[in-house]
């Protein structure tokens, strides 16, 4: 019998677009048998020979001067080695806030174009706040994966809106859907380093009751990154990888391991003024700034001001120095963990051919206020109706500061020192918010030549990272992907600057905007505003600085160059319309608004026994700024049954309803201050336990505890948990991870209920009049009526 390779029907039918010919495009031949056929295999995508690995280490809220290569006294030997063999961009700029900076880094586009005008914790309903990376904006991970790279992400993501961070979400904007093969970390913007509130592996939240003794999140994500690399090499000896290692450190709350903290004891007793001067002197000696550059006076503007260290009391000095010791210990730990990663690469023989980038998402922060805080979430609250007795701090023994029982942040004087020699902080478009350290090392591809100090003074921007890494890796960004055009880049590769110290900047101009703070850079000139919330947007806000002679932005020369001010202001306006910056934030409270889908999260919900922890944002919608009731349904309570019935929150704020020694108890953690109520005995046979919370004036709750409908105790009034508290979600029958009550944790750990618990039902009430969304909608309705 004979066969015809790839035979066609005698009477070809019109091509059916819904039924592909299985042999179309096959490079071999097909007969009726294997013997009469010639095999062929599709060519797999492989990177170019010798393609480098790429590691991007993104730290959170680190200022310009916080590592050794940029003037710090904090020991960072790993970064010192990388800088000694690599390049320091002394004039690198980023966005003033984390989600926008991450969007810009991973896409190469200005963040407003991507939909990240703000952190991924808002939904005012405008294009610049979409908080989703569209399909026609490929991420660095997707582009490298397309060219055969393995792609891994660990740590902070913060590109998924908080309302989309739960297990019922489509996950379209989670790491694996944005080009990463594996992910391990926290989707949100901050977490406890001792008790991460919600770890995610790949596409699945992890259900964890307790962490092992000695657990520390920075160590954990580094362990995970190292394991990913080792596993890759065990399966493929040549495939290059892209590792995105995004630390939650050194974002608040500040927490450090005891051994790391001990190394820095006494280091900051001299205060922030002394620290700034010492760091600036080292920066000048390293050639980061031209001779004659001035160190500004302490920040003096209202709301940003820092007083002299010498005017503090001895008690304040001791407390404030401890805060900075914790921060330094966190930086130290990050460097140690980077050292473990580079040691692994060296053991694999791949350190020299790995591009390592180390930088920060934005500058150091002033969010700790003038005094700092031991109550991070109460300091974080911004509500116009805060009562007079609201306390943005709590008492804590100094030995507990930095440990798992304290959620602290340093005073903004240390944030000012972190940003040495610049003014202002994270959130502002002045240099303190946007100029951060940047180290790049690639010994095999960018060897340092004689006479090259490694310092580059050229202006470069966060959007330049993606095209630079693609060029160094030999990967071309396509104009079309998946059959559709991709959006054009805003970033420009600075590979020429890396190779030639005297090469000109590749990024001559750039706009910036964050919550109304604006700036425009062009060829050494910078137009900038410090916008007061609610103030009108007019030209009186603009200040002008010649960064060639005034890199620390001290001397406003706007009055001497009115024409240039007008020109750059017009350029900012044009860029803002082009990139989707408008509308700007105003006094309407629009950032508190949520889309109509969010209302679904405020419906009553029943959680059966064994339900995994409810995600943080989903949980908060059930109680925030409103009355609510929690009904616990038991099969039948027995005399010796005990444990947690329901818990919501952690050491930063929360509540836990539990049975101990036959009595019902409520532990209420008021932003670190623990208050308790006795709900009376729980008799054998009890079937329903109820916690009622009434929202009353002054942003307070009053609680009632009932057993089978009979009131047994009360608590309150107490301050409501609002803002980011409670930060840990609702758990049924257990108090997971960071406990609401530390004394209960010491006695019983997570204290699982031993009886037959059937379900817990949350019944949210109507919002209180001071609910920010209610207020914002009322203001919008009033404005519409007026118009």
Hey, which residues are catalytic here? 98, 158
d(C-alpha 776, C-alpha 770), whole Å:
10
d(C-alpha 624, C-alpha 721), whole Å:
7
Residues counted in the chain = 787
Match 């026994």 to its residue by tokens: 609
Which string of DSSP letters, residue by residue, matches 569-632?
Answer: HHHHHHHHHHHT-PSPP-TT-GGG---GGGGGGGS-EEEETTPPPPPHHHHHTTTTTEEEEEEE
d(C-alpha 609, C-alpha 632), whole Å:
10
Contact 323, 401 (CB under 8 A): yes
Dihedral-angle region of residue 287 (phi above 0 means left; psi in -120 to 50 means alpha; beta otherwise): left
The CA–CA distances, whole Å, from 57 to 82, 156, 367, 475 equal: 12, 11, 23, 20
Contact 78, 108 (CB under 8 A): no
Contact 646, 732 (CB under 8 A): yes
d(C-alpha 519, C-alpha 529), whole Å:
6
What is the 8-class DSSP label of residue 28? S
Give the orientation angle of helix 217-235 with respect to helix 314-347, to 10 degrees.
10
Cα 758 to chain centroid distance, Å, stands at 37
Cα 711 to chain centroid distance, Å, stands at 43
Phi, psi of 585 (to 5 degrees): -65, 140
Pairing verdict, β 92-93 and 460-461: parallel
Buried b / exposed e over 101-137, threshold 16 CB at 10 Å, is: bbbbbbbbbbbbbbbbbbbbbbbbeeebbbbbbeeeb
d(C-alpha 698, C-alpha 769), whole Å:
11
Provide the token pair at 197: 């509130």
Residue 706: closest CA among 692, 694, 724, 716: 692
Residue 345: closest CA among 448, 237, 226, 447: 226
């Amino acid at each position: 019998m004979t066969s015809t390779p790839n035979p066609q029907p005698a009477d070809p039918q019109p091509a059916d677009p819904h039924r592909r010919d299985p042999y179309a495009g096959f490079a071999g031949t097909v007969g009726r048998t294997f013997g009469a056929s010639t095999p062929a295999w599709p060519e797999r995508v492989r990177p170019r020979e010798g393609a480098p690995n790429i590691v991007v280490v993104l730290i959170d809220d680190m200022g310009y001067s916080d590592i050794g290569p940029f003037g710090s006294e904090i020991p960072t030997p790993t970064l010192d080695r990388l800088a000694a063999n690599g390049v320091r961009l002394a004039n690198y700029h980023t966005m003033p806030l984390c989600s926008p900076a991450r969007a810009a880094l991973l896409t190469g586009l200005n963040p407003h174009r991507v939909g990240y005008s703000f952190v991924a914790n808002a939904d005012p309903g405008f294009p610049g706040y979409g908080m989703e990376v569209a399909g026609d904006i490929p991420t660095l991970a997707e582009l490298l994966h397309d060219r055969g790279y393995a792609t891994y992400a660990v740590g902070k993501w913060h590109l998924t809106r908080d309302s989309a961070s739960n297990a019922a979400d489509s996950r379209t904007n989670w790491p694996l859907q944005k080009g990463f093969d594996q992910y391990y970390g926290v989707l949100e913007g901050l977490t406890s380093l001792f008790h991460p509130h919600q770890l995610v592996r790949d596409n699945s939240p992890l259900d964890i009751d307790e962490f092992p003794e000695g657990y520390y999140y920075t160590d954990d994500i580094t362990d995970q990154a190292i394991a990913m690399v080792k596993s890759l090499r065990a399966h493929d000896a040549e495939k290059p990888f892209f590792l995105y290692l995004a630390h939650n450190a050194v974002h608040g709350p500040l927490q450090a391991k005891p051994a790391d903290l001990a190394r820095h004891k006494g280091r900051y007793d001299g205060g922030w003024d002394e620290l700034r001067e010492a760091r600036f002197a080292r920066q000048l000696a390293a050639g980061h700034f031209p001779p004659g550059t001035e160190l500004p006076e302490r920040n003096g503007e209202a709301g940003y001001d820092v007083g002299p260290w010498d005017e503090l009391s001895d008690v304040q000095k001791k407390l404030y120095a401890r805060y900075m010791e914790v921060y330094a210990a966190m930086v130290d730990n990050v460097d140690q963990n980077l050292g473990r990663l580079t040691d692994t690469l060296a053991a694999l023989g791949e350190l020299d051919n790995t591009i390592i980038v180390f930088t920060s998402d934005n500058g150091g922060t002033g969010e700790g206020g003038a005094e700092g805080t031991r109550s991070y979430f109460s300091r974080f609250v911004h509500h116009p109706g805060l009562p007079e007795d609201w306390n943005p701090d709590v008492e804590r023994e100094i030995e507990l500061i930095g440990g798992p029982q304290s959620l602290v942040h340093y005073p903004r004087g240390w944030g000012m020192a972190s940003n040495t020699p610049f003014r202002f902080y994270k959130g502002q478009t002045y240099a303190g918010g946007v100029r951060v350290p940047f180290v790049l090392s690639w010994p095999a591809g960018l060897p340092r030549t004689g006479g090259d100090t490694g310092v580059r003074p050229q202006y470069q921007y966060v959007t330049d990272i993606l095209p630079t890494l693609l060029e160094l890796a030999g990967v071309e960004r396509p104009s079309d992907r998946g059959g559709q055009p991709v959006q054009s880049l805003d970033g420009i590769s600075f590979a020429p600057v890396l190779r030639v110290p005297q090469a000109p900047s590749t990024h001559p101009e750039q706009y910036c905007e964050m919550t109304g703070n604006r700036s425009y850079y062009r060829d050494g000139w910078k137009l900038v505003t410090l916008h007061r919330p609610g103030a009108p947007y007019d030209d009186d806000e603009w200040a002008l600085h010649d960064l060639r002679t005034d890199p620390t932005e001290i001397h406003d020369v706007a009055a001497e160059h009115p024409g240039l001010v007008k020109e750059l202001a017009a350029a900012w306006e044009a860029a803002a319309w082009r990139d989707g910056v408008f509308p700007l934030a105003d006094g309407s409270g629009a950032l508190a608004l949520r889309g109509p889908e969010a209302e679904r999260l405020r419906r009553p919900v029943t959680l059966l026994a064994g339900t995994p922890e409810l995600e943080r944002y989903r949980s908060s919608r059930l109680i925030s700024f409103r009355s609510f009731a929690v009904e616990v349904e038991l099969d039948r309570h027995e005399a010796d049954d005990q444990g947690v019935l329901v818990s919501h929150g952690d050491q930063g704020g929360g509540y836990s309803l539990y049975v101990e020694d036959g009595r019902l108890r409520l532990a209420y953690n008021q932003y670190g201050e623990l208050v308790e109520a006795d709900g009376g005995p729980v008799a054998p046979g009890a079937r329903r336990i109820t916690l009622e919370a009434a929202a009353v004036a002054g942003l307070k709750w009053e609680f009632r505890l009932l057993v089978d409908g009979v009131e047994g105790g009360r608590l309150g009034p107490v301050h409501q948990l609002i803002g980011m508290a409670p930060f840990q979600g609702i758990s049924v029958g257990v108090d997971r991870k960071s406990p609401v009550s530390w004394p209960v944790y010491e006695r019983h750990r997570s204290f699982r209920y031993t009886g037959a618990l059937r379900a817990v039902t949350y019944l949210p009430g109507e919002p209180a009049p001071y609910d920010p969304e209610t207020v914002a909608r009322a203001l919008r309705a009033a404005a519409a009526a007026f118009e």
